[in-house]
Structure 1
Amino acid sequence: MRKVLMVVLACFSLQGVALERKELSAVSINEITADTQAQFEGAGDSHVAFSWWVPYEYWKSVLTRDPNITQAMKKQMLSVLIDYSVIAVVQADISPLGAFNFYSREEMTKSMRVTYTAAGAEEVILKPDLNVDQEMQLLMAQFGPILKAAMGQMGANFHFYIYRDVDGKGKRLLDPYATGNLEVTVKTREGIPLNASFDTPLNSLFVPRVCPNGELAHVSWNYCPWSGKKL
């Protein structure tokens, strides 16, 4: 079904549609966070698993409005982050009494599979970068405690996988402005596969268009679903 949807998206490409990108400083942090976080499907009541895809645009949106960081430091951090996408994953079994038994990085790495399918293209398997710049490693080391402070043990048990986001010719590999699908697959300890999916373009990055009835149109829509009129 996913591949069929990708073919449909390719046939109704957004390239010919007038879409206005938001300034990243104006992007809602809540909206882009919602667009880039997904719960794995098929987990059941005794299991929990979340994935968070963190593209460069998220970092820039957050950093540009942070008054506690100097402009020089923002520039330095963004110069490091621009070459990477990060996928953070947390997974745990839940006991009958509600205790969380979190998965180790080693467990998750063995079963995790990440793929990206651009509109009209074949699925590509993505591998984490094993030669990440030291500065990027330092930035990610600081991100972990922030999640722990915000989410407790759930945040403390996120595992971060870093993917180089440009090819040898400087072309973007995981473009949140382009039509495509990013899919993350993990397995439970019993071997049951779980899937989390992110469709692009991300709605939060664009100025919303308005349907004739006043409802906001999602970035992926070419026609208003209420009136059938072309957007």
Structure 2
Amino acid sequence: MKKKIALFCSLYFIIISISGQNKKFEEVSIDDFLTETQYGSDNADTIDIIWWIPTEYWNVVFSQDPTTSISDTEDIVNLVKDYVFVMALKGKIGTFGGITYDDENIVREQLNVNYMNTDLKRVDNDNLNPDIVNFLSMMKPMMKNMMGPMGENMQFIVFESPDRKNNVIPIDPYSSETIKFELGDFKKDVMLPLACLLEEKVCPETDEEHNGKWTFCPYHGVKLVDKKQ
């Protein structure tokens, strides 16, 4: 999973579709998935990074890994599906480019996730399933090896529904809902669905493929159609 942190940019003038054909997990681009679920601020004085890790991410990754069995994939998905996992990094950039990272307590306190107009509840590590704790413990050194000090200071925060009566998760990345992330002053609204999980649509004028979230072709103004299966 040696991937770059990237920002997701959308074209505001394209009308978004709330329906579309879903891609098979093995056909989803992992790079596109990361681009759509990793967000960073453009503040020159601070570094603020949020990586939302949907349950479907593990389906995609493991479906493309021949060394992972279907049963192993199901075990991991069943383990994480009732939670929302977010990795976050926060720090200050010095005069000569050095970064002073905020510790886990500060990141945890300043990270908020809102879905379906509901603030999700942060889960203390002591209250997590021991298997989840072990799973996160395995990822921490991996991030350090991949990204050095930046990866070492990425904090894993787990969220759950605030109460059983208002069970809004798991988050549905195929829905038309909006997720709102906050990390201190950095805010990011993510409009679902995730385009990477949808089949591209086709312009009937040119047969050119476009973003599966779009309803109309940005060049010809005609309604896009589903790809032929």
- Are the structure 2 counterparts of residues 146 and 197 from structure 1 closer, same or farther at C-alpha, using a change threshold of 3 Å? farther
Q: Which position in structure 2 is the counterpart of 1:184?
A: 181
- Give the aligned CA root-mean-square deviation in angstroms: 2.4
Number of residue pairs aligned between Structure 1 and Structure 2: 206
Q: Which position in structure 2 is the counterpart of 1:227?
A: 220
Contact 1:55-1:84 at 8 Å conserved across structures: no
Worse overlay, 147-156 or 216-225: 216-225
Q: Partners in 1 of 2:180 and 2:115 — Cα distance?
A: 6
Partner amino acid, structure 2, of 1:126: L
TM-score by length of 1: 0.80
Q: Partners in 1 of 2:221 and 2:17 — Cα distance?
A: 17
Contact 2:82-2:160 at 8 Å conserved across structures: yes
Worse overlay, 61-70 or 104-113: 61-70
* Overall identity of the aligned pairs, in %: 24
Q: Which position in structure 2 is the counterpart of 1:204?
A: 196
> Alpha-carbon deviations, 1:26-75, whole Å to 9, x = none?
1111011111011135xx21211110000010011111222333444333
Contact 1:29-1:62 at 8 Å conserved across structures: yes
Q: Which position in structure 2 is the counterpart of 1:164?
A: 160
Q: Which position in structure 2 is the counterpart of 1:136?
A: 132
Please state how far the C-alpha of 1:173 moved relative to its aligned partner. 4.0
Q: Does 1:126 align with 2:120?
A: yes
Q: Does 1:217 align with 2:213?
A: no
> Alpha-carbon deviations, 1:157-192, whole Å to 9, x = none?
1111112379858764411000121121122xxxxx
TM-score by length of 2: 0.80
Contact 1:85-1:174 at 8 Å conserved across structures: yes
Q: What is the 5 A alignment of 1:1-231? A: 14=18, 17=19, 19-41=20-42, 44-117=43-116, 123-130=117-124, 131-164=127-160, 168=164, 172-187=169-184, 193-211=185-203, 212-231=205-224
- Are the structure 2 counterparts of residues 166 and 112 from structure 1 closer, same or farther at C-alpha, using a change threshold of 3 Å? closer
Contact 1:84-1:166 at 8 Å conserved across structures: no
Q: Partners in 2 of 1:47 and 1:171 — Cα distance?
A: 32
Partner amino acid, structure 2, of 1:205: L
Q: Partners in 2 of 1:83 and 1:113 — Cα distance?
A: 17
Contact 2:120-2:160 at 8 Å conserved across structures: no
User: Unpaired segments of 5 or more residues in structure 1?
Assistant: 1-8, 118-122, 188-192
Contact 1:20-1:206 at 8 Å conserved across structures: yes
Contact 1:38-1:196 at 8 Å conserved across structures: yes
Q: Partners in 2 of 1:85 and 1:139 — Cα distance?
A: 14
Contact 1:83-1:166 at 8 Å conserved across structures: no
Q: Which position in structure 2 is the counterpart of 1:5?
A: none
User: Unpaired segments of 5 or more residues in structure 2?
Assistant: 1-14, 225-229
